[in-house]
């Protein structure tokens, strides 16, 4: 089940990233970040209500530990998204985006050091192989293409996304509810908090951003919709499996991105794309094997 949720999330994320990149040409970094959440709250609430309608269960007690995970995950995802949007604006965006995909290996490292998430040798191999694959797909041909600001920004983005995912998983486990209700509660609270915080900040410092988002409301709505659907998939998968494994399989998003480029932009795949996809497939198989 976690694999199905991960594939769905990766598919949604590929479309969301393309839409965010388009929106970033006309809207500020904070505006594009807000676009991810602005309509997602009502969708997340509807999803939770439907779960309770078809599979009734108890309303949870929200502990301070749970709420601290929610706040930490919400803030860190805002930071991670802002860093990713900033990468869109760099000339060597592909390199930075490739480094941002270090999320899987950072989740494995941070998870094993601070969250008690142990991985078998086979799992570690899969995570590392997936990281190498995404770096190849980013288009790096020599060390000269790397510069310190891009490297630091990409790694910071990957680390921020990894921490977000780890705190989301901890919140879901702490809630002590059956799946998928636990993931749905975490999703609703995280998205609601993010929407409130970002909206208040934009209202105080960038009021014109709201008019820009309204002017591009079709793209904004599409970003928010695909982001929420993707989050449903990610949050559900991460409540069932190690974050590092979920993010390794989730790198199949690169395949969906290339598929969009081939089918709609008529861009033929490069040799390095084929090599990278083969490595990603191998990484996914390794982490899906019994550990």
pTM to 2 decimals? Answer: 0.83
Q: Is the pLDDT of residue 98 over 90?
A: no
Q: How far apart are CA 116 and CA 235, in angstroms?
A: 19
Instruction: Please state, rounded to an integer, the average pLDDT across all residues of the chain.
Output: 82
Give the pLDDT confidence of 20-41 residue by residue, as tens digits: 878 888 888 788 888 888 889 9
- By 3-state DSSP, what share of the chain in percent is helix, strand and coil, each rounded to 5? 80, 0, 20
Q: Residue 251, exposed/middle/buried by CB under 10 A (0-12, 13-18, 19+)?
A: buried
CB 143, CB 87: distance < 8 Å: no
Could you tell me the two tokens for 8?
Answer: 């769905």
Residues 6+ apart with CB under 8 A from 79: 160
Predicted confidence band of residue 110 (pLDDT cuts 50, 70, 90): confident
Residues 6+ apart with CB under 8 A from 160: 76, 77, 79, 80, 83
The confidence score (pLDDT) of residue 251 equals: 78
The confidence score (pLDDT) of residue 30 equals: 83
Q: What is the DSSP string of 62-77?
A: --HHHHHHHHHHHHHH
Give the pLDDT confidence of 51-93 residue by residue, as tens digits: 999 999 999 989 999 999 999 999 998 888 778 777 766 655 5
Q: How far apart are CA 275 and CA 267, in angstroms?
A: 17
């Amino acid at each position: 089940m976690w694999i199905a949720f991960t594939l769905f999330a990766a598919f949604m994320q590929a479309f969301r990233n393309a839409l965010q990149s388009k929106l970033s040409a006309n809207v500020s970094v904070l505006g594009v970040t807000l676009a991810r959440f602005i309509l997602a709250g009502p969708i997340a609430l509807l999803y939770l209500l439907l779960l309770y309608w078809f599979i009734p269960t108890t309303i949870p007690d929200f502990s301070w530990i749970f709420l601290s995970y929610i706040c930490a995950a919400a803030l860190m995802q805002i930071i991670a998204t802002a860093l990713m949007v900033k990468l869109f604006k760099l000339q060597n965006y592909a390199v930075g985006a490739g480094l941002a995909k270090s999320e899987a290996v950072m989740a494995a490292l941070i998870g094993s050091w601070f969250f008690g998430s142990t991985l078998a040798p086979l799992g570690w191999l899969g995570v590392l192989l997936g990281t190498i694959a995404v770096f190849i797909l980013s288009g790096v041909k020599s060390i000269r293409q790397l510069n310190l600001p891009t490297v630091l920004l990409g790694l910071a983005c990957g680390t921020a996304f990894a921490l977000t995912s780890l705190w989301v998983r901890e919140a879901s486990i702490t809630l002590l509810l059956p799946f998928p209700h636990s993931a749905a509660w975490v999703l609703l609270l995280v998205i609601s908090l993010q929407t409130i915080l970002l909206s208040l900040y934009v209202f105080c410092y960038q009021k014109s951003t709201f008019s820009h988002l309204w002017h591009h409301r079709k793209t904004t709505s599409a970003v928010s919709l695909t982001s929420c659907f993707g989050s449903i998939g990610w949050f559900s998968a991460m409540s069932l499996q190690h974050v590092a494994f979920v993010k390794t399989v989730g790198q199949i998003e690169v395949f969906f991105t290339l598929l969009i480029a081939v089918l709609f932009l008529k861009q033929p795949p490069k040799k390095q794309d084929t090599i990278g996809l083969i490595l990603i497939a191998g990484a996914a198989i390794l982490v899906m094997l019994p550990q």
